[in-house]
Chains A and B, each alone.
Chain A
């Protein structure tokens, strides 16, 4: 019987800085043992515990899609002991992985429906997994329209910029990007924060006129969602981002007609075991590591407000 606490060896194959502030790196990891790779079957939305023996473990969302064979991609912000050590490792370093853990985005339930992906900052990481999964030739026809709204504080903090460029060119996904307003002494200034990023109507985002080929905006993510007005009929919304972004995006989606059982979040918590035994990551009776991290708004509304 396999011991669920023993990490599986995995090697760093590629490392790069993902954001201009150099606080976030993307790691492509490969299993030295092909058997382990075969057994690591995961779905978009799941996470793994990245292990550095001597430092500890960190639960990180899997950024690669299961349709991308041969490697696991993780985008990691330097936050504490483990992630700092991880940032100091280089190509060919040996580390460990436990997983895949948790549940995943409702990829089966969303078949035949339109999907609106809304991401903020580097929380976009598991949304990349979802997007690549759905856009894969094998899967694309199973889903309806795919809209992606992705924002960060400034252009240098957007993740996967090379892929964003590619997705912009595709006809089977509508990608909108945004960056934060510049702040003056009296609050946000209603003009393009950078060249090429068209400001929306700051006071009444819903009244913004979206021109045909304009895809880059100056706006907070919830405001851009108001401006784009994604159709809620037959659609699911998947929202990942900092708490404040989620807090203001949910009401916008609700007003657009998305019901709580078609709005999904991915949560994070301090974790250790990753398998629902150490007791620390619970919200009410649910463990975020085992019963999440993906929760529908409907499910969250039935749980205590403790996150």
Chain B
């Protein structure tokens, strides 16, 4: 208890702007901002405060580390003598504040793909290395949330550098990493009462989250590739790709060259396994001709293949796909159906 006391700092709500301006001195501060009906993560300008009064953003903050469009290189000249001009923009040191535990856990999940012993994705790696994360606990999880079923939780601090919790009159801030410690060193320590309040809120929040049983799913999926359930599950699916767009663990991308006159660039853009062109061969051969095959790929990839390759399920239970699917396909129900197959 003593040790957790030392790690816990506190700040009154009225004092938060001071801390925010302090952080902005040495870092680009990125946080949630209200933009009409949306909450978008972007750089906070002078005197701007992070907007923390929301359940979770519709769009995940994965684009802060894996941008929707990212330049790989530039080139100029005639087509038979172009050489790549590497983009050597320095990545500024940044702090992202307000990220929810599910979105932080998603980064830990896709870290394993982008940074491993085979190859290191230098773009992603640089952004990860230069970013500190102040996570934010979910006191009021949404009905579409199911993070607790995937090893997460509304107040899980793993993966953040500092973890922040709203306890009413103020915030509790816990340092999770050494780098995070420095950010909140000067703040007063939290009292035992405050910590008890936090634990109370945490208990209530965790209880309110829907739960599904994924324990046996990865192994079970191994046997279900040819099962007719995929056609059932994908019957309503429009192939719109919203699930992949919003999903914080979806990592697929396309590479395209763009040219105007004799200047151009090579970029990578988000891509979706739910689109047919994703796997279309130059010869015209199409391994995933039907929508149910693409839906099957999505579920198998997240709940079986990724787990086999990297040891974790590629889902953090953020519930965005559940909340935004235009035909209400609920991945929790999909898992339930799979569980019920004899």
Binding site for B on A (CB under 8 A): 1-7, 9, 52-58, 79-80, 83, 85, 89-90, 92-96, 243, 268-270, 272-273, 275-282, 284-285, 290, 304-307
A278, B268: Cα distance in complex, Å: 9
Partner of B80, one of A2, A57, A94, A268: A94
The DSSP consensus for interface residues of chain A is: loop
In the complex, whether B256 has a CB less than 8 A from a CB of chain A is: yes
Q: Are A3 and B86 CB-contacts (below 8 A) given A53-B75, A54-B264?
A: yes
- A4 in contact with B125 (CB, 8 Å): no
A-B contacts besides A56-B256, A284-B305, 6 pairs, CB < 8 Å: A4-B120, A5-B255, A90-B80, A92-B80, A282-B301, A285-B305
Q: Please indicate the chain B residues that have their CB under 8 angstroms from the CB of A56 in the complex.
A: 255-257
A272, B305: Cα distance in complex, Å: 20
A279, B304: Cα distance in complex, Å: 14
- A280 in contact with B278 (CB, 8 Å): yes
- B257 in contact with A304 (CB, 8 Å): no
In the complex, whether B338 has a CB less than 8 A from a CB of chain A is: no
Q: Are A282 and B305 CB-contacts (below 8 A) given A7-B84, A53-B75?
A: yes
Question: What 1/0 mask marks residues of chain B from 270 to 305 whose CB sits below 8 Å from any chain A CB?
Answer: 010100001111110101100001000100110011
- A53 in contact with B114 (CB, 8 Å): no
- A3 in contact with B122 (CB, 8 Å): yes
- B79 in contact with A270 (CB, 8 Å): no
Q: Please indicate the chain A residues that have their CB under 8 angstroms from the CB of B281 in the complex.
A: 268-270
In the complex, whether B54 has a CB less than 8 A from a CB of chain A is: no
A285, B118: Cα distance in complex, Å: 15
Stretch touching chain A among B22-30, B89-97, B132-140, B246-254: B246-254
In the complex, whether B235 has a CB less than 8 A from a CB of chain A is: no
- A306 in contact with B293 (CB, 8 Å): yes
- Please give the distance in Å from B48's CB to the nearest CB on chain A: 34
- B255 in contact with A290 (CB, 8 Å): no
A269, B82: Cα distance in complex, Å: 27
- A53 in contact with B82 (CB, 8 Å): yes
In the complex, whether B72 has a CB less than 8 A from a CB of chain A is: yes
Q: Are A273 and B255 CB-contacts (below 8 A) given A3-B122, A54-B82?
A: yes
- A277 in contact with B305 (CB, 8 Å): no
A4, B309: Cα distance in complex, Å: 21
- B114 in contact with A277 (CB, 8 Å): yes
Q: Which of A4, A54, A55, A94 has the most CB of B within 10 A?
A: A54
- Please give the distance in Å from B65's CB to the nearest CB on chain A: 14
The DSSP consensus for interface residues of chain B is: mixed
- B113 in contact with A277 (CB, 8 Å): yes
- A57 in contact with B84 (CB, 8 Å): no
A52, B80: Cα distance in complex, Å: 8
A94, B261: Cα distance in complex, Å: 18
Tell me the chain B residues, 62-108 only, with Cβ under 8 Å from chain A: 72-73, 75, 79-84, 86
Q: Are A285 and B309 CB-contacts (below 8 A) given A56-B256, A269-B279, A280-B278?
A: yes
Pairs across A and B, CB under 8 Å, 9 listed: A1-B125, A6-B72, A53-B73, A54-B82, A94-B80, A270-B280, A280-B252, A280-B279, A285-B305
- B119 in contact with A277 (CB, 8 Å): yes
A279, B254: Cα distance in complex, Å: 9
Question: What 1/0 mask marks residues of chain B from 25 to 67 whose CB sits below 8 Å from any chain A CB?
Answer: 0000000000000000000000000000000000000000000
Q: Please indicate the chain A residues that have their CB under 8 angstroms from the CB of B73 in the complex.
A: 5-6, 53
A303, B27: Cα distance in complex, Å: 47
Q: Which single residue of chain A is at the shortest CB-CB distance from B310?
A: A285
A305, B75: Cα distance in complex, Å: 40
- Please give the distance in Å from A55's CB to the nearest CB on chain B: 6
Q: Please indicate the chain A residues that have their CB under 8 angstroms from the CB of B121 in the complex.
A: 4, 277
- A276 in contact with B255 (CB, 8 Å): no
In the complex, whether B16 has a CB less than 8 A from a CB of chain A is: no
A55, B82: Cα distance in complex, Å: 11
Q: Which single residue of chain B is at the shortest CB-CB distance from A89?
A: B80
- A306 in contact with B288 (CB, 8 Å): yes
A270, B266: Cα distance in complex, Å: 18
Q: Which single residue of chain B is at the shortest CB-CB distance from A80?
A: B282
- Please give the distance in Å from A157's CB to the nearest CB on chain B: 16
In the complex, whether B238 has a CB less than 8 A from a CB of chain A is: no
Partner of A54, one of B79, B293, B297: B79
Q: Are A53 and B266 CB-contacts (below 8 A) given A1-B122, A1-B125?
A: yes
